[in-house]
Structure 1
Amino acid sequence: MSILKLLYFPNKKLRNIAKPIQHIDNNIKILGQNMLETMYYYKGIGLAATQIGINKRIIVIDITEKKNNPIILINPKIIKIDKLKINSKEGCLSIPIKQKYFILRYNKIKIKAKNLKNDIIELEINNLLSFCIQHEIDHLNGILFIDYLSNLKYQRIYDKINKINHKIFFLKKQNYIK
């Protein structure tokens, strides 16, 4: 398996809307496994294909501490929501800062998706798994969790990332980083 390259905000490809997967073939199965490997490598709990520059509706998730219960969802769709929203403390592998922010998410949802065996599955989920799936489906729709923040918080994140990118550019220019 392979570790795939992550895209980082403000990369415009993160705003792409992913296309449905028509056929679950060996390439999709390999993609799912590579996405899991990438997510584990970067110590995440979820990853959407758009975060690695692939415009397909596939997400991977594993919220367990031991990283032993991976979920791969093809063409996931929320089909039912419980009206109760609660604060979810979120970060993102594509937002390279350590801070997490509170986002209002539905506590309980029902989703429909396909698994790698091409079976249609429906899951009723809540709490962290619900928040994570909503976050990853947002990615498939070109939405980042920071889009839910105030303009001021969004601007601060944008400025921090630009500062980081400027330092990296300077170090590369000086041949400190290859």
Structure 2
Amino acid sequence: MIRPILIHPDPRLKKICDAVDDLSDERRALADDMLQSMYDAPGIGLAAPQVGVLERLIVLDCVKDVDPEPLVMFNPELLHSSDDLNTYEEGCLSIPEQFAEVTRPADVRVAWIDLNGNPQERDFGGLWATCVQHEIDHLNGKLFIDYLGPMKRQMMTRKSQKMKRERARG
């Protein structure tokens, strides 16, 4: 089921999410819905708070067009970040049609629980590293525009508010 994606500003996007304590069928269905919603949007990552669920769950797929490699992460945690940095032009499904360059660690190691309840750990680089950090930020109530200067952040927030109003009018 494709779920509606919250548009900034929405107070739920600024909340710190709760850890997932059990992998119920309902949570697995949520993960599946999130993947469908992400692909439909289209995007390369989606965090549970973006669909109004304040739990530590993210989905991502940075190669969706070639040979899909969907990842579902419950309780993802950054274990290590490199000193080397990368700058990517980031966007966000909750801040549609707006992009800005954000600098983040180039490589990260992440631990998480997979759909079967198994602990996983993996190193990510390049776009995958940027995407997983962006999505984990969502779980901590942080948006990519929080890395920008106040003027640019306000301008993007105003554009987002305007788009949100226009969508509400239908």
Contact 2:12–2:52 (8 Å) recurs in 1: yes
Q: Give CA deviations for 1:37-91 in whole Å, capped at 9, x if unaligned.
A: 0000100000000101101101000111236210000100000111111212100
Matched, 1:125 2:136: no
SS at match of 1:123: strand
In structure 2, how many angstroms separate the alpha carbons of the residues matched to 1:67 and 1:15?
A: 33
State the shift of 1:156 in Å: 0.9
Normalised to the residue count of structure 1, the TM-score between the two structures is 0.91
State the shift of 1:165 in Å: 3.6
SS at match of 1:88: strand
Aligned to 1:52: 51
Count of residues in Structure 1 that have an aligned counterpart in Structure 2: 169
Contact 2:8–2:161 (8 Å) recurs in 1: no
State the shift of 1:127 in Å: 0.5
AA paired with 1:78?
L
SS at match of 2:6: coil
> CA 1:49 to 1:166, structure 2 compared with 1: closer, same or farther past 3 Å?
closer
Aligned to 1:93: 93
Normalised to the residue count of structure 2, the TM-score between the two structures is 0.95
Matched, 1:164 2:163: yes
Aligned to 1:78: 78
Aligned to 1:62: 61
Aligned to 2:30: 31
In structure 2, how many angstroms separate the alpha carbons of the residues matched to 1:84 and 1:144?
A: 22
In structure 1, how many angstroms separate the alpha carbons of the residues matched to 2:103 and 2:46?
A: 20
SS at match of 1:117: coil
Structure number with bigger Rg: 1
State the shift of 1:107 in Å: 0.5
If asked which structure has higher relative contact order (CA below 8 Å, sep 6+), I would say: 2
Q: Percent identity?
A: 34
Aligned to 1:137: 136
> CA 1:31 to 1:162, structure 2 compared with 1: closer, same or farther past 3 Å?
closer
Q: Which runs of 5+ in 1 are unaligned?
A: none
AA paired with 1:122?
E
AA paired with 1:120?
P
Q: Which runs of 5+ in 2 are unaligned?
A: none
